[in-house]
Amino acid sequence: MQGAATSSTASPVLEASPKLLLIGGKWQAAQSGETIETRNPSTGEIVGHFQSGKAADVDLAVAAARAAFEGHWSKTTPFQRQELLLKWAHLIDAHFEELTWLDVLEMGVPISVALTRRQRVIGMIRFYAGLATALHGETIDNSMPGEFSSFTLKEPLGVVGAIIPWNGPLVAAVWKIAPALATGCTMVLKPSEEASLTVIRLAELLQEAGMPDGVLNVVTGYGHEAGAALAAHKDVDKIAFTGSTATGRRLVEASAGNFKRLSLELGGKSPNIVFADANFETAVPGAAMAVFANTGQICSAGTRLFVEAPIYEEFCARVAEFGRKLVVGNSASAETQVGPLVSTRQLEVVQRYFDAGAREGAVALSGGERLYGAQFENGNFVAPTVFTHVRDDMAIAREEIFGPVISALPFSNMEEVVARANASEFGLGSGVWTQNLGTAHKMARAMRAGVVWINCYQAGDPAVPFGGYKESGYGRESGIEHMHEFLQTKSVWINLNG
């Protein structure tokens, strides 16, 4: 049985009235009159309600975004867009504790973890704000006979539909909104039906910063209703999506109506590879928290733990022991290190994988069970889990679980582990633990993944691109490449001889 956090710090009092949609600068109810309740995954208690937007609401929001894009927003200067984002960053900084509590109460991230994200969130906005005034085309020499000047312009795509997941609403929303606004696009944002309160508060603060009407519109609702309508809308120029690979496939199909641009950050089953010469003092906690952080609800979690055969038994035992010592409990407690799964539905998914692992012959060295007892009553808690005796063909080694579940597999040499690690339809993250510089460089080039972490895991910075290979999606977030996802390139030719 895992340790449980019992003491808690004060959390904000939430409003009883349902939160509204933001369309064209006005907060309004969904036309259906329906609302969605959101629950605290630590306790099962209802923490709020928001609107259940549908296609009709999406139509209004897209129209508002189009009017803003072709109207007042298109006339703003890069400096004005930069200034708006910096004011927003200042307000988020001032209200950061409030925003983190919304993430805590709605999706279950531990408060001790949520409070550490200030620099990441504020840093992202300031990074994109800085780039707002640095976007430019190029003057290009050409070989046309006569005298011709040629250059390019970088122009905003237009109306962006953004769809974000529930596993980190604060970070995910900022990651979509800031670059879109910095480039001069407008947006309709559809947060997850599991976690929308943080996003609504972010939009309120953006209004307070001086955002013109219609630049950001927020339509809460279910994915198969509001999300599907946004994806298929013919007046949306781009969809920026983070979520499952299955939903990503449907978005590709929906985009065919007007050939809208897509950027997709999808699922993963990331390999985390530990060589025999790895430093155990860093590799053990690194491998554990590559999966147990955020209760395993991270798309790039290093859930396939490949360990070189000579150290396999000892290393797995130490990772399992590390997981057993983590404090699992109510995310509102300052002592909690691992919170609940986001919903009873996700709890059922993880429990099915526990059963599948045992049925196929894997051994739960630690965990592998739901947690019960007074401190876990009505919450969606499972123990951090390490499965050994795992084969590559097992479901727990092939499929994304989205829970705190490590599948540990032994390997014999570099060539073997590269082949096995890359034998996946996913290619989002990967990790390598070694003290050999040559091994590190060879592995960095060999991995078929968008990110390779060496002697670390989940390191991130707004300046460094993030994204996937294969069925983990395409397009990049963070870095200058992220800005280009929201821009068109226009070529201009001028005959200098008239």
Full DSSP string of 37-64: EEE-TTT--EEEEEE---HHHHHHHHHH
Type of residue found at 297: Q
Looking at the chain, the whole-number percentage of residues with pLDDT higher than 90 is 95
Answer whether 385's CB lies under 8 Å from 366's CB: yes
Select which of 106, 193, 194, 265 is catalytic.
265
* 225 has catalytic annotation: no
Q: d(Cα 312, Cα 237) in Å, to the nearest integer?
A: 50
| Mean pLDDT estimate for the chain | 95
The string of pLDDT tens digits covering residues 265-318 is 999 999 999 999 999 999 999 999 999 999 999 999 999 999 999 999 999 999
Q: d(Cα 430, Cα 107) in Å, to the nearest integer?
A: 26
Q: How far is CA 276 from CA 38, 72, 210, 311, in A?
A: 46, 60, 55, 6
Residue 482 pLDDT more than 90?
A: yes
Beta bridge partners of 387: 364, 407
Select which of 299, 308, 316, 485 is catalytic.
299
Beta bridge partners of 140: 150
Tell me yes or no: is domain 21-266+473-490 CATH 3.40.190.10.
no
Q: d(Cα 210, Cα 169) in Å, to the nearest integer?
A: 22
For residue 36, give the 3-state DSSP assignment.
strand
**Residues 419-446 as b or e (16 or more Cβ within 10 Å = b):** ebbbebebbbbbbbbbeeeebbeebeeb
Question: What tokens does 66 get?
Answer: 């189009």
Domain positions in the chain are 21-266+473-490, 271-462
CATH code for residues 271-462? 3.40.309.10
Question: What tokens does 367 get?
Answer: 């965990």
* 185 has catalytic annotation: no
Q: d(Cα 405, Cα 387) in Å, to the nearest integer?
A: 7
pTM of structure: 0.94
Q: Lowest-pLDDT range, 3-12, 69-78, 346-355?
A: 3-12
Full DSSP string of 425-440: S--S--EEE-S-HHHH
Sign of the dihedral defined by the CA atoms of residues 253, 256, 258, 262, in that order: positive
Biggest alpha carbon–alpha carbon distance for the chain: 84
Alpha helices per DSSP H over 360-494: 395-398, 414-422, 437-446, 479-484
pLDDT for residue 1: 40
Confidence of residue 323 (pLDDT cuts 50, 70, 90): very high
